[in-house]
Amino acid sequence: MGAFQAACVQLRAGRSVSNNIDEAVSLIRQAALGGARFVQTPEQTALMELDRKMLFENITPEACDRSLARLRRLADDLNIWLHIGSLAVRVGPDKAANRGYLISPTGGIAARYDKIHMFDVDLDGGESYRESATYQPGSAVAVADLPWIRLGFSICYDLRFAYLYRALARAGAGLLTAPAAFTKQTGAAHWHVLLRARAIETGSFVIAAAQGGHHENGRDTFGHSLIINPWGEILAEAGTDPGVIQAMIDPAEVDAARKRIPALTHDRDIETEGLPGPFESTSE
């Protein structure tokens, strides 16, 4: 159905939801003015807040979420497909979902996706995360159709789980999305390689809008929003500051890459039944 222009909005969300959404709205407008028909924002578009108490003071169930309502009106105004990388929405007395939304050009919610893999990790330098203490993980793999191509959802840490992207590609997705708030230290080591690998191994476009820079809550995120073609080449890349990157997405490139390397059709059932469990060293 032809090519279309896609954009990533890179953000540096702070602790004020209204300031964050103002900034997001202005950059989304800029992307649409630049010709983008699909615009993606990063994980936690409305708020970067790891303190549980502060987070729960600022979030509501989806039906009452004012950021979501405002972004839906914006998509309608601009007549664009708007992919909100994620918002924290309350799903229980002390649990939230890290939930992505695809908003249609008439402002409807075309799809939702709850982040599946929780970032419960201790990094170097005492940087430590327990996402599962606050968020309830999703379990459903999700795809949604744009007029031009099928989109597959993921969020941030999901990027490390290749089987998810294979499932998305096998479900017909030609555009894989990975909005993120990657840490500065793991991003520097892994971000580009993981995203390019997901594109190459599935023959898909990858779009990953990122948070970047030093945030009000003290965190540092990696930035470097990326748009990658199905051959693994980088079409557009941001630096560390907030802004917009754009690239043309031609679905024919998906077919071409999958024709050159038809790995997606060469999957085999492998036997894991008889394998032993984790290796344990017997040395002192």
Ligand X SMILES: O=C(O)CNC(=O)[C@H](CS)NC(=O)CCC(=O)C(=O)O
Residue ranges that bind ligand X, judged by CB under 6 A: 43-44, 48-50, 119, 129, 131, 156-157, 160, 181-183, 186
Radius of gyration of the chain from Cα atoms? 19
| Per annotation, catalytic residue among 8, 23, 131, 156 | 156
- Cβ nearer to ligand X, comparing 14 with 232: 14
8 catalytic per annotation: no
Residue in 8, 23, 43, 253 annotated catalytic: 43
The set of residues, in sequence order, having a beta carbon less than 8 Å from that of 180 and lying 6+ positions away, is: 42, 43, 85, 155, 156, 159, 191, 208, 209, 210, 211
CB atoms within 10 A of CB 120: 12
- Nearest position to ligand X, beta carbon: 186
Active site includes 49? no
Give the angle 147-257-31 at the CA atoms, nearest 5°.
Answer: 45
Q: What is the 8-class DSSP label of residue 136? A: P
Closest CB 48 distance from ligand X, rounded Å: 4
43 is catalytic: yes
**Nearest CB to ligand X, comparing residues 43 and 114:** 43
Residue position matching structure tokens 């017997």 = 282
Smaller CB separation from ligand X, 30 or 217 = 217
Report the nearest approach of ligand X to the CB of residue 59 (Å). Answer: 11
| Residues recorded for the chain | 284
Q: Which is nearer to ligand X, 4 or 157 (by Cβ)?
A: 157
In the complex, what is the shortest distance from the CB of residue 276 to ligand X, in angstroms, rounded to a whole number? 28
**Closest residue by Cα to residue 198 from 257, 144, 246, 116:** 257
> Is residue 48 classed exposed, middle or buried when 0-12, 13-18 and 19+ CB atoms within 10 A define those classes?
buried
Q: Which of 49, 115, 131, 253 is labelled catalytic?
A: 115
The nearer residue to ligand X, 88 or 257, going by C-beta atoms, is 88
Q: What is the SS3 assignment for 151?
A: strand
Burial class (CB in 10 A: 0-12, 13-18, 19+), 11: buried
| CB closer to ligand X out of 45 and 246 | 45
How near is the Cβ of 199 to ligand X at its closest, in Å? 17
d(CA 223, CA 61): 29
Tell me the CA distances in angstroms from 131 to 20, 140, 275, one per residue in order: 21, 18, 31
Name the minimum Å distance from CB 209 to ligand X: 13
Q: How far is the CB of 119 from ligand X (least distance, A)?
A: 4
Distances (CA, A) of 68 to 88, 107, 110, 231: 10, 10, 13, 34
Please identify every residue annotated as catalytic: 43, 115, 156
